[in-house]
Structure 1
């Protein structure tokens, strides 16, 4: 039966026919799988998040508050891929996430439905523009990050980029492998806030050259500083899209985090003035804490940060994770591990879980809860593929317990107030939700594989109250769909998943 495209699918197809007509057929062929991938993520949310219009859940049967029934497969909240191809809403089959969300008719659902349509269409575009990865492992971090084609493994908006045209996705998104020319915008020193050491190659006489993403330059910035660009910096986009690896600098040279005020996945990100002024203090704190991790984990340093005093023009220079690799070793973002085939081995997966949990719990005991999801957390692999140690980047969303730090002779002086908390629930949510329900679950690919790995790894971990909570309590995770349907509620919202170890 012919299925008419959604508005987002038709829009992408129309633009693609103009800018890359050779991809139209492949894009069309990828649409069913992309819809199923997004629908699977949405079904996970519908069956596990505290959505106020879901009155009762019984396995794969949801009773809605208005009396309707929604049926689907018995959910595995840790499964990745696309195991949900359709659900049944009061006798009507639904195989498209956008149309399902629109049919539910819930508050704020119309806007979220459009995001889901963009997510499926953009995912089909991302998949259509891929070639088989080949047997050779990449030598650079950006090539590894290009392999993460499907985006967030559990977020229904895994590829939602509604602020990007098709041409801009092809030109700037990491999975398409583009070369991006960052503009270098000169700012007079008296109009620029600097933190750390700003390199000479990003200065022009007395002016500071701030790297600007071309999307930001085209859509957001008005002429500032001296107006015209003072040059360009060719770079490769990383998984976050707004952070890039300058060409020739991925052997340990700095990465550049740019201001990019576009909606990506689910939120509009920026670089605030406090995050610039506090960047060095947070980085130095990270180095002090990493020294207590017994060599299991390194934290990339922030080298410098600059802003003109607004959220629209700012940049942060950060060490490349490659700085922590030795000859013959690979530094792989955890989100890219499934592309290596290594997690297919239960023994390897257990070894990786043991390393990640040992490091994460060690820092949590010290008083630092990392947001160790598949983008922020990288693993150093030996020549044989063995997981040796971890690298963590981007400290902006960690949580820090001053009380725990004090017990270990550390302090939180100079850290922003928003990262400080002694609330044990908040600390454990941050680590367990990102590392176990996020990075490890996404690497394992199913609840069965995750349980097997955890059962093997946990007995070797040092005992303590945090480990006891991990073993016995429901597993926290961000309620990502609830957050998208609650535009007036600031901050993270949470739910719990069945504990794989229970």
Structure 2
């Protein structure tokens, strides 16, 4: 076994200075955090197309990866949909590793040093997040932001699930949603004639001929490098850079640092397209027989810079009736619901009905566990869905036209009639992300999907989902190819091992 990497020691030292009462809990959480990140990394090593892996052999007690340089990497069997921290140790030849950062150092493959440093920070930040958690699944919160703040571990499959480069310990405690802070956003005045504004920008965010742009305090200090008086209080959601203003909208701010795989700024093109996308979302929801709501973008503004922009969006909570709860799919595990086979099948049926109908209409949703929310009855039954943040959808003009939906003017990256591109956007996020993370394993996910698809229309999209391996983003390949832009895709074994079941 190996000593903790320097990131763990650095965080422990900072924590001792700013929150000494958490040091013991942080230290106790480190082994579990290493296992959680190592499990995500092992999934990637077992299933992603990494060029330095020559082959993979299943053996009676696990999996052996044959490296091109002749070494052997040995670990447990790797269920690609499993979410618990089941990998405690892997062996590179005869050397045992319980730490993902040190494993990458031992592998010594191209770009492993930088990725290993990210993994070290992911472990340390995850342990810090777990040290401060206070979940009470038997007590369902009333606020929309409180559900978000229950999600402690971040992305269910990305090894960088909690990597927050550029954030000190004090800043993680002050801004990380799992630490339940209240964050003061700055309001930076910019002359209106120097801004692009779409939608209805709130009067409260104007000062005469100036537009007041909400700015995250981290962004003000580290990117804009200018003082910005904190004037708008908000509760950070699981995306960290989006905050719920009490009694008001959700405010999405630019946060120009890399969280998991992407830099979280707001492009000028996305601001320009926000009103058209919001209208498309309303049109889509109107054709869903009440099964889907899409949160409206109220307004968006940018000082013609991705580092200085903001989006105002309505809260998903407006789509809940009295007694109902709107819960991000990523937070369903914190509800205390039993997640029986029947309940999982009902959730899968609802999600696939909505996702496939939207795809047929020409909209491929990025329906991962953060963007997709489910409205639960007082008893916890899934009733309908809410989708938010249309910035990463894909739109098929031919499909839209076939159904009489006007084709909006959108950035070219969002528009395609390629069925493969449209399907992998939906299937990878919804099945390989949202539903897989709720199920937690291939057998459970497969059973829920098989039951769900029995009642769905036999469209070509459904046949493609059931007949082929499941497309997902190759998250680790993307981090080990830092000069490559855009998403990299791979496929996982289909959880529907029997293909398309007969109709029920």
Judge same fold: TM > 0.5, yes or no.
Answer: yes
Contact 1:342-1:349 at 8 Å conserved across structures: no
Instruction: Show the counterpart of 1:243.
Output: 242
2:190 to 183, 187, 190: 187
- Are residue 160 (structure 1) and residue 155 (structure 2) matched? no
Note the alpha carbon deviations across 1:311-333, whole angstroms, 9 max, x for none: 12110000110111111110000
For 1:345-364, what aligned pairs fall within 5 Å after superposition? 345-364=340-359
Find the aligned partners of 1:343 and 1:78 in 2 and give their Cα distance: 19
Note the alpha carbon deviations across 1:133-156, whole angstroms, 9 max, x for none: 251101112111111100000000
Instruction: Show the counterpart of 1:94.
Output: 97
Note the alpha carbon deviations across 1:231-257, whole angstroms, 9 max, x for none: 60000000110000012x2xxx31000
For 1:53-72, what aligned pairs fall within 5 Å after superposition? 53-59=52-58, 60-72=63-75
Cα distance, 1:10–1:401 mapped onto 2, change above 3 Å: same
Moved over 4 A (4+): none
Cα distance, 1:102–1:307 mapped onto 2, change above 3 Å: same
Instruction: Show the counterpart of 2:266.
Output: 271
What is the CA distance between 1:222 and its match in structure 2?
4.3
Q: CA RMSD in A?
A: 1.2
Instruction: Show the counterpart of 1:419.
Output: 414
Instruction: Show the counterpart of 1:287.
Output: 282
Secondary structure of 1:262's match?
strand
- Are residue 474 (structure 1) and residue 469 (structure 2) matched? yes
Note the alpha carbon deviations across 1:76-129, whole angstroms, 9 max, x for none: 110002000011110111110000011111111110000000001100000001
Instruction: Show the counterpart of 1:13.
Output: 12
For 1:333-482, what aligned pairs fall within 5 Å after superposition? 333-342=328-337, 344-482=339-477
What is the CA distance between 1:307 and its match in structure 2?
1.1
What is the CA distance between 1:12 and its match in structure 2?
0.3
Q: For this pair of structures, how many residues does the alignment match?
A: 493
Secondary structure of 1:371's match?
coil
What is the CA distance between 1:411 and its match in structure 2?
2.8
Contact 2:197-2:302 at 8 Å conserved across structures: yes
- Are residue 258 (structure 1) and residue 261 (structure 2) matched? no
Cα distance, 1:344–1:413 mapped onto 2, change above 3 Å: closer
Contact 1:337-1:343 at 8 Å conserved across structures: no
Instruction: Show the counterpart of 1:495.
Output: 490
The answer for unaligned runs of 5 or more in structure 1 is none
Normalised to the residue count of structure 1, the TM-score between the two structures is 0.96
Cα distance, 1:262–1:343 mapped onto 2, change above 3 Å: farther
What is the CA distance between 1:416 and its match in structure 2?
1.7
The answer for unaligned runs of 5 or more in structure 2 is 498-504
Instruction: Show the counterpart of 1:28.
Output: 27
Note the alpha carbon deviations across 1:351-410, whole angstroms, 9 max, x for none: 000000000000011111100000000000011111000000000110111111111111
What is the CA distance between 1:131 and its match in structure 2?
2.2
Find the aligned partners of 2:119 and 2:140 in 1 and give their Cα distance: 33
